[in-house]
Structure 1
Amino acid sequence: MSKAIEDYGFIGNTVSGALVARDGAIDWLCLPRFDSDACCAALLGGPEHGYWRIAPADALKCVTRRYRPQTAILETCFETAEGKVTLIDFMPFTDDEHYVDVIRLVRGDAGHVRMRMELCLRLGYGQVVPWVRSQEYGLSAVAGPDALQLHTPVELKGQNFTTVAEFSVGGEAVIPFTLAYHLSHRSARPAANAQTRLEETTARWHTWIGRCQFDCAEEHPWYEAVTRSLITLKTLTFSPTGGIVAAPTTSLPEHLGGTRNWDYRFCWIRDATLTLYALVSSGYRQEAYAWREWLLRAAAGDPKQLQIMYGLSGERRLTEVELPWLPGYEHSRPVRIGNAAFKQRQLDVPGELMDVLHAGRKLQFEHSEHSWRLQKTILRQLEQDWNQPDEGIWEVRGGQRHFTHSRLMCWTAFDRAVKAVENFGLSGPVERWRAVREEIHTDICRNGWNADKRAFVQYYGGEALDASILLMAEVGFLPPQDERFRTTVEAIERELIVDGLVLRYRAEDSPDGLPGDEGVFLACSFWLADAYVMLGRYGDAVALFERLLSLRNDLGLLAEEYDPRIGRQLGNFPQAFSHIALINTANNLACARGPAKQRADGPGRHRLDE
């Protein structure tokens, strides 16, 4: 049986990342970037598809783990009858995205413990066996464009196309292992002292998290959850460009044994606004600005060619391919790389783009005339397209519909354009934009409303509910006090809540075109908590928020979904959208407690749309 998704920890260096299991195995590692081919892919297959394990050779009495406080450095403590050791896993920051290291330190804590290391490198997502040679520093491995070196003082030997080592550690000794990646046509870098790099990486993380402004108090009951989410979000950032990946993994299933398995190692425009608020409200304007600049570069060009998602550097071609040699996590097939949704029409995306750029103006980011020209060009195209069907926020594969959320975000696009003129003095055909805004508002209220359900529904003419409608008051389409918003929230409570958590929609009622079911979508549950805050239901909001916090694994990490029937996390992991939603909801709740807790930028729940 596969290890549970929540059994993994996540380490990274804002270029790439790795998943480390409780048993000391790195089962997912892509080098040198998040979206590179995996060289350890056991997560989606078996040991034969690549892993790197360091653990005691003898039976374990217990295993505990934690992140070194306020860092992305993972410590796993193994206890055997002979003693204790701590495995310290981290990825040092790098000044060159083509040189990336993974460092593992084995520290003796008590007694003497026999250890075993196994390194099975399989490049090309578990398919390619590299050419391995012994070196005085350890070993080198080469396959095509990729080269790796393992630096360690421990004696290594080959065994069934796997490199193994057996050693003992005790007396507070520290034994290092450094796996260093470089392009095979470039020279390798000398390996620096691993202990020194640990100290440097720790200091850099402490400096970064020291800028956090959440509630300005470490004793706040949610401080740890927020800072862990911020560190996770930072770790998911591709620092060379400022882009933020949705998750470091591909094809972790939304339903065990099912086909809802997608590659999330890309950057979605729809995540942009909520990401910006999460960063700025927590004190990270520099990262928010870099994210906005990535968006402008990625979206530049003909507005007809605006995509919903892009690669880490703004790449547009994200061709979806299936990998038949990988059996999938718990036999959830197919395993996919790339994401065909990049070709979909999703009319909410111009609204998301306009919203985040409006937020940048509210936050006094540097004005760009080029950016405003791009926005006006996008609006000209949207004037023609807003009443067309699309695949919607959830990227359905069952055909286009007139999705209510898509229309809502079209309204948002023109609303933010009007405010750009009214509040910031920018030039544009504001009367025409006001007219289009009003036309869309009327269209949604007439066609998106279902009188029998007393709710706005997923798509025009349908009866299915959709959690994305919870954003209706947040973007300013209706005030929270509007009866229609209140009854929509109540309808979602009746029909989309499972064990106190929120489904995106009920798969059997939706045109998503996919077989099987899925778990509850964690971001949607945070959205419901935000709606409760806006409705004045503070106690309900806190209760739901704390329930969501209880679903995190022991390291404070969340996947995309959760299955309350089996009590397991599902989907790609860790999921940026879940952690972004956690940060924003925590800030909303903190702001709702009273004006003394509010910062100059205001509560994130208002989306800065005033």
Structure 2
Amino acid sequence: MPVVENKGLKWLVRKVKGIRGQLEMKMVFKPSFNFARDKHQLKKTEYGYNIQSGSLNLDLISKSPLVVVDNEYGGQIESSFLIKENDIVVFIMKETFDSIEIIPKHLYRLPEDTEKLENEAFISTIFYWQKWLEKCTYKGRWREIVERSALALKLMTFEPTGAIIASPTCSLPEGIGGQRNWDYRYCWLRDCSFSVYGLIRIGFTEEAHNFMRFLEQRCADAVYDDPNRMPLRIMYSIHGESNIPEIELNHLSGYRDSKPVRIGNDAVNQVQMDIFGELMDSIYLSNKYGSLVSYDFWLHIRNMIDWVAENYHWKDEGIWEVRSGKQHFVYSKIMCWVALDRGLRLADRRSFPAPREKWTKARDTLYEEIQQKGYDKEMHSFTQYYGGKSLDASTLIMSLVFFMAPSDPRNINTLKAILKPPEEGGLVANSLVFRYNLQHAQDGLDGEEGTFNICTFWLIEGLTRAGKYNKEFLVKARLIFDEMLGYANHLGLFSEELGIGGESLGNFPQAFTHLSLISAAFNLDRVLSGKSNTNA
């Protein structure tokens, strides 16, 4: 996916190079527009084929001979060729009307010398990404995997608006053959906010600033006159739209027969109160590290914090977007506390006008409520929701957002409870963490799922912070982190979940996983190196 003169092209390039000997090869180009719901037309051009379907117009160009083979969608394009040592064969798919004016003038004869063009574009692309990575301030033990994670997050950023998507894929199953198949090609405010934290931590403040632009516009568009919905949606399209209907594509079999295949996501209509905490934490950090909040933005923030102070008692569907009904989820309550706390901190840091007494009272009242209703003294741990009897890995966030001191006995007890294997009531199996135990916590869906990668990295960071006071926890955090890195693919990328055999499950790559990896690596390295504390 080439970048030339710092501008991304809407191209996809495939290159085959002969290393030794020779080999008969075949390229198949099988376009399926609109999720195989629309047909297309193929038209021969001087250097390849034009492919058109509705308003979409593509070109496939190559010096290798191309032939059309009929299929149900309007035909596919194939090319058979013999690749010999040092031979190069290049195929370029591009938008027909994508301008080539940014290509150096000596390469304007694009179709006539695809190999030369590909080489120039490849060199330019490598240079762009190497230069971007030079901004990374992380020089710790796990530099390579941290940089790969940063690259993944950058590639999931939509530059025109600053939006960051949760994943570039849709409907990859959380359980093979099951129905937990979701579309993650959207900007979840929660995921984006955590991504901002991860990027800021290692020096990429420009991306954080761009997301703040996106977030400021969403806050400006917030609706406060509907008593039955939150002022913000939990997710938006990369353009800021909130109309994201969920549709099942019954004509597709899905990955390894995992049905239904879904596009769009009905979770957009859910109540998830935690998003305000993640938003305020990212705004506070962004303001702290260079992207100062303007007065107009503050007015929108103040309205939002006011709403949280008055409505934090709402039940919701929680971070895991359950479809089994609303509860007083402990994670959501903690993040509402974070929203109030960071609102107060930002107001004091910038001397902004704010109803401090109202916010302080709400924050402190909520803190006491969470301690009284969210902690089960018989289980010696925080639970998934008020009055519940099941664990939830999302409560690992407590020490990460400074809701609880890492050394607090309640935090330590919760860590110990989660560390137990599922058959003993815990959530950890072979160092991997389930988000909750489906035997004890129903989410309204059939089927099983794997361990959640973000939860594993949250556990690592939670153990790291507690490890300052208990060296046994620190040793365990290091061992789990090193073991976890072994589950990355050959490009250092992670999916959403891991299956029982270590296979990737869920959408891929997953921003949530990579941002939590960055945070865990950053804090674990600092503690192991004896540097300043993890509160920085």
- Fold match, TM over 0.5? yes
Q: Give 1:204-603 correspondences, 5 Å limit.
A: 204-215=128-139, 221-301=141-221, 302-303=223-224, 304-494=230-420, 495-536=426-467, 537-563=473-499, 565-594=500-529, 603=534
Change (3 A) 1:156 1:364: closer
1:123 and 2:59 matched? no
Give the residue type in structure 1 aligned to 2:498: Y
User: 4+ residue runs of structure 1 moved beyond 4 angstroms?
Assistant: 93-97, 186-191
**Residue 42 of structure 2: which of 132, 135, 139 is its match?**
132
Which SS does the other structure have where 1:114 is aligned?
strand
* Percentage identity across paired residues of the two chains: 35
Q: Does the residue aligned with 2:400 lie in a helix, a strand or coil?
A: coil
- Contact kept, 8 Å, 2:309 with 2:358, in 1: the verdict is no
Matching residue's letter, 1:321 = I
- Report SS of the residue matched to 2:365: helix
Displacement of 1:126 in angstroms is 2.1
> Aligned equivalents of 2:487 and 2:278: distance in 1?
29
Q: Distance in 1 between matches of 2:403 and 2:99?
A: 57
Aligned 8 A contact 2:167 2:507 in 1 = yes
Secondary structure in structure 2 of the residue aligned to 1:513? coil
Q: Taking structure 1 as the reference length, what is the TM-score of the superposition?
A: 0.79
CA gap 1:221/1:478 in 2 versus in 1, 3 angstroms: closer
Q: Aligned to 1:552, what secondary structure does the other structure show?
A: coil
Name the SS of the counterpart of 1:249 in structure 2.
coil
Question: 2: distance between equivalents of 1:570 and 1:144?
Answer: 33
Residue 94 of structure 1 contacts residue 100 of structure 1 at CA under 8 Å; is this kept in 2?
A: no
Q: Measure, in 1, the Cα distance between the counterparts of 2:260 and 2:69.
A: 31
Moved more, 294-303 or 222-231: 294-303
The 3 A distance-change label for structure 1 pair 240 and 182 is farther
CA distance in structure 2 between the aligned counterparts of 1:202 and 1:408, rounded to whole angstroms = 42
CA deviation digits over 1:75-127, x for unaligned, max 9? xxxxxxxxxxxxxxx44469888x61101112222222222111111111123
Matched, 1:156 2:66: yes
Structure 1 position 383, deviation (Å): 2.2
Residue pair 1:418, 1:433 contacting (<8 A) in 2 also: yes
Q: Deviations over 1:113-169 (max 9, x none)?
A: 222111111111123331001111111111111111111111111123221111122
The equivalent of 1:165 in structure 2 is 79
The equivalent of 1:24 in structure 2 is none
2:120 paired with 1:196: yes
More helix by share: 2
Q: Which amino acid aligns with 2:205?
A: R
**SS in structure 2 opposite 1:423?**
helix
Q: Distance in 2 between matches of 1:105 and 1:159?
A: 22
Unaligned residue ranges in structure 2 (runs of 5+): 102-107, 111-116, 225-229, 421-425, 468-472
**Alignment-mate amino acid for residue 376 of structure 1:** R
Structure 1 segment 166-181 matched on structure 2, within 5 A: 166-181=80-95
Within a 5 Å distance, the mapping from 1:98-113 to structure 2 comes to 100-113=10-23
Which shows bigger deviation, 264-273 or 164-173? 164-173
| 3-state SS of 2:43 partner | strand
Question: For 1:492, what is the secondary structure of its paired residue?
Answer: helix
For 1:16-71, what per-residue CA distance to the aligned partner results, in whole angstroms no more than 9, with x for missing partners?
xxxxxxxxxxxxxxxxxxxxxxxxxxxxxxxxxxxxxxxxxxxxxxxxxxxxxxxx
Superposed CA deviations along residues 202-221 of structure 1, whole A, max 9, x for unmatched, are 11111111222111xxxx54
Kept in 2: contact 1:323–1:335 (CA 8 A): yes
Secondary structure in structure 2 of the residue aligned to 1:365: coil
3-state SS, counterpart of residue 194 of structure 1: helix
Separation of aligned partners in 2, 1:420 and 1:188 = 46
TM (norm. structure 2) is 0.90
Equivalents in 1 of 2:48, 2:79: separation in Å?
A: 11
- Helix, strand or coil: the match of 1:283? coil
Q: What is the distance in 2 between the residues matched to 1:299 and 1:131?
A: 43
The RMSD of aligned alpha carbons is 1.9
| 1:149 to 1:191, Cα distance in 2 relative to 1, 3 A | farther
Q: State how far apart, in whole Å, the 2-side matches of 1:482 and 1:236 are.
A: 37
Tell me the alpha carbon deviations over residues 420-466 of structure 1, each in whole angstroms, 9 at most, x when there is no partner.
23333221111111111110011111111111101110001110110
1:447, 1:285 → 2: CA distance? 38
> Deviations along 1:313-348, whole A, 9 cap, x unmatched?
211111111111111111111111111101111111
Please give the alpha-carbon distance, in whole angstroms, between the structure 1 residues aligned to 2:99 and 2:119. 23
> Does the CA contact (< 8 Å) of 1:348 and 1:409 recur in 2?
yes
Question: In 1, Cα distance between the equivalents of 2:341 and 2:372?
Answer: 19
Assess, with a 3 A threshold, how the Cα gap between structure 1 residues 511 and 299 changes in structure 2: closer, same or farther: farther
Amino acid at match of 2:90: P
Secondary structure at 1:366 match in 2: coil
The corresponding residue for 1:51 is none
Counting matched residue pairs gives 504
Contact 1:274 1:584 in 2 (8 A): no
The one-letter amino acid paired with 1:232 is A
What is the distance in 1 between the residues matched to 2:329 and 2:160? Answer: 36
Please name the residue that 1:11 is paired with: none
Cα gap change, 1:245 to 1:272, in 2 (>3 Å): closer
Q: CA deviation at 1:366?
A: 2.3
